[in-house]
């Protein structure tokens, strides 16, 4: 399973507003009707002292180290009376070779032009309704509490995603609704903010002729933004043949600011079972970290991840990540990140990906692997 197939989601740092805008469909210029072209281009050098196939080092040009490389269109129309219509089209590509990024959909086939978003909706004071392919609310809820804000490399973005792949290997699956638990097809979502609390609720149709519940996805996420930040989520997917729950994911998190520092802690639980109802994995992901805004143009992060599968105790990774983002401007960031991965013998193959913070799971099982990634991220 290569990084070319499963580079995923919105790794967000100081640019939380970009994803928040995409998720709600409301841009800063939404007071007037508009159509915008936007994008992110991210590339860097990644080197590691061991690989999962041997003990030799490897250096390569890596796409999407800080955030994913994307391009797209978004637009709004003021309909009057506080009502707005909007749309989002967002495509994912790999900067190292220029190819459109592969899909993580349950059928594992084809290339999706607008893998990340293809939706339309309405928004007013009563909230936002989004129809089409879109970000799920469960992941969005934890952006402010995940120690590295789900950065595209070296975060629990990948443990989140890989824990929602196992059940799709057979003839079951959640219909055509789920792309690694992050992008949802055939979906309807309602989002609103009530004072300091933002809530998102999503239902994705399984589109099976048996029962409406077969192959569907349900997800909910909530974030409290006050003196502290708190987050909670739940996500469930059903087999399209039997209608049994095959994926359940839970999350809790918190972030506390203190001067130039922000302390974060996050818990993730991913449960997989086959269409026969037998559990195949139960992964607990515990993480904590601190952000340090040590100058107006620099933000450093120290994060720790401990991910373990209860059904396979030998599948266990312990990870330390140290990084710094240098903001050359509002649009351009230079980043440096170092990850130390201590993986047990069982953290190998597809099962090992469930405890991985490394995009392609290329750490060496039963050993300690060091990664260094230096790159540039530019938005337009």
Q: Is the dihedral of CA 103, 106, 108, 114 positive or negative?
A: negative
Q: Name the nearest CA neighbour of 380 among 64, 9, 69.
A: 69
Distance of CA 335 to the CA centre of its chain: 19
Per-residue pLDDT, averaged over 29-37, amounts to 77
DSSP 8-state class, residue 66: S
Question: Is 277 in a helix, a strand, or coil?
Answer: coil
Q: What is the pLDDT of residues 47-102, one digit of tens each?
A: 999 999 887 899 999 999 999 999 999 999 999 999 999 999 999 999 999 999 87
CB atoms within 10 A of CB 168: 22
Q: How many domains does the chain have?
A: 1
Rounded to whole angstroms, how far apart are CA atoms 161 and 136? 12
Question: Residue 222's domain spans which residues?
Answer: 3-379
Rounded to whole angstroms, how far apart are CA atoms 250 and 236? 9
Q: Using alpha carbons, list the distances in angstroms from residue 354 to 200, 270, 348.
A: 26, 9, 9
Rounded to whole angstroms, how far apart are CA atoms 223 and 258? 19
Rounded to whole angstroms, how far apart are CA atoms 296 and 294? 7
Rounded to two decimals, the pTM is: 0.88
Residue showing tokens 């709600």: 24
Domain at 337, CATH number? 2.40.160.10
Q: What is the pLDDT of residues 120-148, one digit of tens each?
A: 999 999 999 999 999 999 999 999 999 99
Per-residue pLDDT, averaged over 2-25, amounts to 42
Residue showing tokens 């580079």: 7
pLDDT of residue 29: 41
């Amino acid at each position: 399973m290569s990084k070319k197939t499963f580079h995923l989601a919105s790794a967000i740092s100081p640019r939380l507003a970009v994803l928040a805008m995409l998720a709600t469909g409301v841009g800063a210029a939404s007071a007037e009707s508009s159509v915008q072209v936007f994008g992110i281009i991210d590339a860097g050098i990644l080197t590691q002292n061991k690989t999962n196939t041997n003990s030799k080092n490897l250096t390569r040009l890596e796409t999407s180290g800080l955030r994913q490389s994307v391009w797209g269109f978004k637009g709004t129309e003021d309909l009057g009376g506080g009502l707005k219509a909007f749309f989002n089209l967002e495509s994912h590509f790999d900067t190292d070779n220029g190819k459109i990024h592969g899909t993580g959909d349950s059928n594992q086939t084809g290339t999706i032009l607008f893998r990340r978003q293809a939706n339309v909706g309405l928004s007013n004071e009563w909230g936002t309704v989004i129809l089409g392919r879109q970000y799920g609310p469960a992941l969005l809820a934890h952006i402010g509490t995940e120690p590295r804000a789900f950065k595209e490399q070296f975060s629990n973005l990948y443990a989140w995603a890989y824990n929602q792949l196992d059940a799709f290997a057979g003839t079951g699956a959640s219909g055509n609704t789920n792309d690694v638990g992050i992008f949802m097809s055939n979906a309807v979502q309602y989002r609103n903010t009530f004072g300091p609390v933002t809530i998102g609720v999503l239902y994705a149709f399984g589109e099976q002729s048996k029962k409406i519940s077969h192959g569907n996805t349900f997800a909910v996420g909530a974030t409290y933004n006050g003196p502290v930040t708190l987050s909670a989520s739940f996500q469930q997917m059903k087999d399209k043949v039997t209608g049994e729950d095959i994926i359940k994911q839970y999350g809790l998190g918190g972030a506390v600011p203190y001067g130039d520092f922000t302390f974060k802690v996050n818990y993730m639980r991913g449960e997989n079972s086959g269409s026969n109802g037998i559990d195949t994995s139960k992964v607990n992901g515990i993480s904590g970290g601190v952000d340090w805004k040590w100058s107006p143009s620099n933000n450093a992060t120290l994060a720790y991840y401990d991910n373990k599968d209860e059904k396979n105790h030998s599948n266990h990774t312990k990870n330390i990540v140290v990084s710094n983002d240098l903001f050359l401007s509002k649009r351009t960031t230079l980043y440096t990140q170092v990850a130390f991965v201590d993986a047990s013998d069982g953290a190998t193959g597809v099962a090992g990906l469930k405890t991985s913070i490394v995009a392609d799971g290329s750490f060496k099982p039963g050993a300690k692997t060091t990664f260094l990634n230096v790159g540039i991220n530019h938005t337009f």
